[in-house]
């Protein structure tokens, strides 16, 4: 796994367009700050912090099925606990 994620990587992880990731996801409160911020097109975030953010908002991350290696991650909602 790469140490940093670009906007395109985040978009692929979540299953949205790069434009949506740039305009909505990375601007959410609590989303980690970029570790590289040269311009809007050249930004990168620490992979561990991005994955921790999604876990913190109730998303689980698991390897995509059907691949022997972890090449792509799939994002799913965490199951709700019954009271």
Model pLDDT, residue 59: 78
State phi, psi for 28 to the nearest 5 degrees.
-70, 145
pLDDT score for 74 = 57
CA torsion sign, 74 to 75 to 77 to 78? positive
pLDDT tens for residues 41-82?
789 999 999 999 998 888 776 655 444 433 445 556 656 666
- Contact between 77 and 59 under an 8 Å Cβ cutoff? The reply is yes
Confidence (pTM):
0.70
Residues paired with 73 in a beta bridge: 63
Q: Look at residue 21 and tell me whether its pLDDT is greater than 60.
A: yes
């Amino acid at each position: 796994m790469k140490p940093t994620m670009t906007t395109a990587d985040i978009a692929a992880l979540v299953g949205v367009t790069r434009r949506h990731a740039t305009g909505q996801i990375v601007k959410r409160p609590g989303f980690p700050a970029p570790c590289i911020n040269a311009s809007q097109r050249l930004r990168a975030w620490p992979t561990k912090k991005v994955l921790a953010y999604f876990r913190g908002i109730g998303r689980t991350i698991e390897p995509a099925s059907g691949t022997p290696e972890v090449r792509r991650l799939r994002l799913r909602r965490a199951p709700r606990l019954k009271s």
